[in-house]
Amino acid sequence: MNINLKLQLVTIVPLVLALSAVLFVTQVQYQSLSKQTVDEYRQSAINHRKEELRNYVTIAEGATEHIYQDKNLNVQQAQLLVKQTLANMRFGKDGYFFAYNFDGTALVVPGQEWRIGKNWLDLEDRNGTKLIQGLIEGAQDGGGYLNYVFNQPSKGGEVAKKLSYSRALDDWQWMIGTGVYMDDIDQETALLNDSISKHIRNTSIMTLIIGLVAVIAIFFSGQFIRFSEKKLANRKLRELNERIFQTQEEECKRVSRELHDGISQTIAAARFSLETAQLKQQNNDNPEKELDRSMQLICKIMGDIRSISHQLHPGLLEDYGLGAALEELGRDFTQRTGIKVSVERLSIRNILSTEVKTALYRIAQESLTNIERHANATAVSVTLKLIPGWLTLEITDNGQGFNYLDYDKNNDKKTHQGIGLRNMKERLSFYKGDFTVISKSKGTTVLARIPQSQLRYNASNASESINEGEEHD
């Protein structure tokens, strides 16, 4: 599993977990809110029904009060008229009024006249609730409500939940009341619950869809970024390979040119001298002069080979350290060009890896080559030193300067030959280093710095090694 896929999983998995947690929490909250809403609606409907029942009983009392208070009627006549009035009062589909004696005898039960005259004090519904006894007790307490199950006339006598309210006529020892069936409230509550559940389900589906779209968007965005980065990395790799190939080709051309222009011609001259000495020997002439010339040419060939080998990779860099290699590089540069090179160095072979030494040596080598080709300088200073946190290599010349910003900007558009300033940057960037060029009309300074953390040992702990190693450098 590559790093890009791991990063995508690190991004998507927490999102999926968070989405699942959100869905779970919202479901729990929605269900709790739904139950609370339905319960509040049901209680509100029941309270409204209770208010209605109390008003209905008040209306019934108002309709019979004049009879109840009429002094011209005897008790039997008044009670008969009240019974008739209550029996004829109806509301709604199943709304009627009933009346019982305090002893439980039925007086008024519209539609169920067979109950009249019988004692129902011990009547219970299927849940064990004593209907008449509970209503009488509520009436005697000044008015009371009772929930029970009773026959519903509109449904052919099927039992249904009912809520009743009763009050007392104390002078007659009567309980009068009325009730409403609760099946409509149950239906409305069920419809409300279904509606809320449907809304919750739709909201959850929308949340899930949005979450899935987000996950898919993140996944494909990651794939796009991954593809773009891969494409960019491949392009940079191709450019790097191209620069490497061009650098290698340029180095091969340089070595080939030096071999052809220097060693090959010297070998040809040595061969010509040896052939001349051979002819002189065959003719009994003295060949010593030609042999001496051949030996001189062979020595020159050996020196040229040593010089080419040193340029490719100086053995002094491995054996005696970077400081000694820079001194030799300066001496060779002065002998070849006549430009004076002064080297101020430290013995740092104990704290640098081979790679760091090689990188700094190549930067110094390329800087001197650029000075030789372009600067028209007469003096060069090479300084290698340690400052807090950094190892620095500074190459300064007194030649003609150039506009580094324009140079760098132009070289971004095409790959230049040789190592060049850009490749110096890349060498240092591998070690998290810093590369600076300061160029003026009377000289140029190249400053290469490598952090202390990139050295083989900690420079602050290596001072003793540096001091001890100076005499060996």
Question: Would you place residue 118 in the very low, low, confident or very high pLDDT band (cuts 50, 70, 90)?
Answer: very high
What contacts 24+ positions apart, CB below 8 Å, involve 38-44? 38/189, 38/192, 38/193, 38/196, 41/188, 41/189, 41/192, 42/185, 42/189
Within-domain flag for 14: yes
Mean pLDDT of the chain: 81
pLDDT at 396 over 90: yes
Residue ranges in 313-441 assigned as alpha helix (H) = 315-320, 322-337, 354-370, 404-411, 420-429
Question: Would you place residue 461 in the very low, low, confident or very high pLDDT band (cuts 50, 70, 90)?
Answer: very low
Residues 6+ apart with CB under 8 A from 59: 89
pLDDT at 330 over 80: yes
Residue ranges in 338-419 assigned as alpha helix (H) = 354-370, 404-411
Within-domain flag for 163: yes
**Which domain range does residue 79 map to?**
3-181
Write down the pLDDT at residue 105. Answer: 93
Question: Would you place residue 8 in the very low, low, confident or very high pLDDT band (cuts 50, 70, 90)?
Answer: low
Q: Which of helix, strand or coil describes residue 92? A: coil
Write down the pLDDT at residue 253. Answer: 74
Q: Confirm if 164 and 145 have CB atoms less than 8 A apart.
A: yes
**Domain end marker among 154, 181, 208:** 181
Question: How far from 279 is each of 163, 268, 282, 400, CA to CA, in Å?
Answer: 144, 16, 5, 55
Question: How far from 374 is each of 222, 297, 406, CA to CA, in Å?
Answer: 48, 33, 16
Which of 125-129, 196-200, 448-452 is predicted least confidently?
196-200
**Distance between CA 391 and CA 288 in Å, rounded?**
56
Write down the pLDDT at residue 460. Answer: 43
The predicted-structure confidence for 444-460, as pLDDT tens digits, reads as follows 999 999 998 887 644 44
pLDDT at 472 over 90: no
Supply 360's token pair. Answer: 């700094």
Residue ranges in 70-125 assigned as alpha helix (H) = 75-88
**Distance between CA 441 and CA 361 in Å, rounded?**
26
Supply 348's token pair. Answer: 């740092």
Top-ranked range on mean pLDDT: pick from 236-245, 319-328, 350-359 = 319-328
Mean pLDDT of 345-369: 79
**Distance between CA 167 and CA 393 in Å, rounded?**
109
Within-domain flag for 397: yes
What does the radius of gyration of the chain's CA atoms come to, in whole angstroms? 55
Within-domain flag for 228: no
The predicted-structure confidence for 270-306, as pLDDT tens digits, reads as follows 788 888 888 878 887 777 888 888 888 888 778 777 7
pLDDT at 11 over 90: no
**Domain end marker among 128, 160, 181:** 181
Q: Express as a percent the part of the chain with pLDDT over 70.
A: 86
The predicted-structure confidence for 144-194, as pLDDT tens digits, reads as follows 999 999 888 777 778 888 899 999 988 899 999 999 888 888 888 888 888
Within-domain flag for 342: yes
CB atoms within 10 A of CB 266: 19
Mean pLDDT of 247-263: 71
Question: What CATH number has the domain bearing residue 331?
Answer: 3.30.565.10
- Tell how far CA 398 is from the center of its chain: 53
Question: What CATH number has the domain bearing residue 75?
Answer: 3.30.450.20
Question: Would you place residue 55 in the very low, low, confident or very high pLDDT band (cuts 50, 70, 90)?
Answer: very high
pTM above 0.85, yes or no: no
- Which amino acid is located at 410 in the chain? N
Q: To which residue do tokens 């419809």 refer?
A: 191
Q: Please give the residue that has the higher pLDDT: either 251 or 275.
A: 275
Question: 177 and 324 in one domain?
Answer: no
Q: Confirm if 435 and 424 have CB atoms less than 8 A apart.
A: yes
Question: How far from 222 is each of 21, 215, 241, 418, CA to CA, in Å?
Answer: 23, 10, 28, 38
The predicted-structure confidence for 58-113, as pLDDT tens digits, reads as follows 998 888 888 878 888 888 888 899 999 999 998 888 889 999 999 999 999 988 88
Within-domain flag for 186: no
pLDDT at 463 over 60: no
**Distance between CA 126 and CA 107 in Å, rounded?**
23
Within-domain flag for 448: yes
Overall domain count for the chain: 2
pLDDT at 250 over 50: yes
Supply 153's token pair. Answer: 């006339």
Task: Give the residue from 448, 442, 447, 340 showing the smallest Cα distance to 401.
Answer: 442
**Domain end marker among 126, 158, 181:** 181
Write down the pLDDT at residue 466. Answer: 38
Q: What's the maximum distance between 2 C-alpha atoms anywhere in the chain?
A: 186
Residues 6+ apart with CB under 8 A from 70: 78
**Distance between CA 83 and CA 172 in Å, rounded?**
12
Within-domain flag for 239: no
**Distance between CA 177 and CA 292 in Å, rounded?**
148
